[in-house]
Amino acid sequence: MDDAHPLSPGELADVRALLAAHVAGVGPLRASLLSGGRSNLTYALTDGPRHWVLRRPPLGHVLATAHDMSREYRVLRALAPTAVPVPRAVLEHPEPDVLGAPFYVMELVQGDVHRRAGDFARLDPDDRRRLGYAFVDALAALHLVEPGAVGLADFGRPDGYLGRQVRRWTTQLASSRSRDVPGLDDLAARLTDGLPAPQRVSVVHGDYRLDNVIVDADDPGRVLAVLDWEMATLGDPLADLALFALYWQGWGSTENPIFATPADHGFPSSAELSRRYADATGLDLADDAWAVDVWYTAFACFKFAVICEGIHYRHSRGLTVGEGFDRIGALVPGIVRRGLDALDT
């Protein structure tokens, strides 16, 4: 736990009053800031016997359209009756009057979150294989959900999604630029050429990686909940898959251990998991060598690089909470090179 930004007694009392409208007999609340989040602030709440999680935007430098608590809350509610495992949403407070920003509360899901190589130490080869399969199966389940069937037909604008994504992350980069990164602007420019034609419109998570899921502590082959839906929208599911593959291949794990990527620790390869995903969804991945078509790989690198630059920007101004932020900026040049290498193939 890290309590660098605790909730005050007054704030906790106000949150309790709101929670009491949804949960009977709520006692006085205690709160701790959970480690692991690199953007939104996530607090564990408890009244003793019961436990919840509160999510609110980060401190300072909130970019337009980012950190939208209402969107996170809406997608949790929509996916609750589907095969996608999500925490139960309890309440949403869209006004800034209580915490200075909108927030929502969901139930705490007890289980394992894997962030570092040491978290895998007790898993045998069969556990690791089943964990990899369950992880990619949850992504496939998400991409098989029909948005209109769960009330998310208007959750995004899928037409022109990839082009808008390139423009959006280029704009995010401009808003968070604090240094020159060789090749980053070139990568952005080259992504505007040859945009793929999406095969399907799906709800996309936007940041699907292993430390954004909770796994059953007694059964590593069972994903209990997918977390951190702040980037969710309607779009091209292969953009999700490419970012998943980038994380899974170990990019970022050596220099910055807060990224959970099992790489060469006995887990299924990204290519194997991508083939399993393709079998489940019926989508054509086009390029086995990169786990997915090279454009999607390059876009995943660009998006990840911009996310890291945003974290680096906030860290340099003292606006981040938790360990590892001082090493985020060092990841960017290698990721940019990988994106350019993909396009060069």
- Tens of pLDDT along the chain (345 residues)? 345 578 899 999 999 999 999 999 999 999 998 854 456 789 999 999 999 999 998 765 444 445 588 999 999 999 999 999 999 999 999 999 999 999 999 999 999 998 777 788 888 989 999 999 999 999 999 999 999 999 999 999 999 999 999 999 999 999 888 888 899 999 999 999 889 999 999 999 999 988 899 999 999 999 999 999 988 999 999 999 999 999 888 765 444 433 445 555 678 888 899 999 999 999 999 766 667 889 999 999 999 999 888 888 877 777 665 566 677 888 889 899 999 999 998
Give the domain 9-107 fold.
Phosphorylase Kinase; domain 1 (3.30.200)
**Quick one: CATH architecture of 117-344?**
Alpha-Beta Complex (3.90)
User: Which residue type does 296 have?
Assistant: Y
Q: Closest Cα to residue 73, out of 95, 48, 105, 47?
A: 105
For residue 296, give the H/E element and its range: helix 294-316
Query: CATH 3.90.1200.10 region(s) of the chain?
Result: 117-344
CB 175 within 8 A of CB 121: no
User: How distant is the alpha carbon of residue 276 from its chain centre?
Assistant: 21
Strand partners of residue 52: 45, 107
Query: CATH 3.30.200.20 region(s) of the chain?
Result: 9-107
Q: How far apart are the first and last CA of the chain?
A: 44
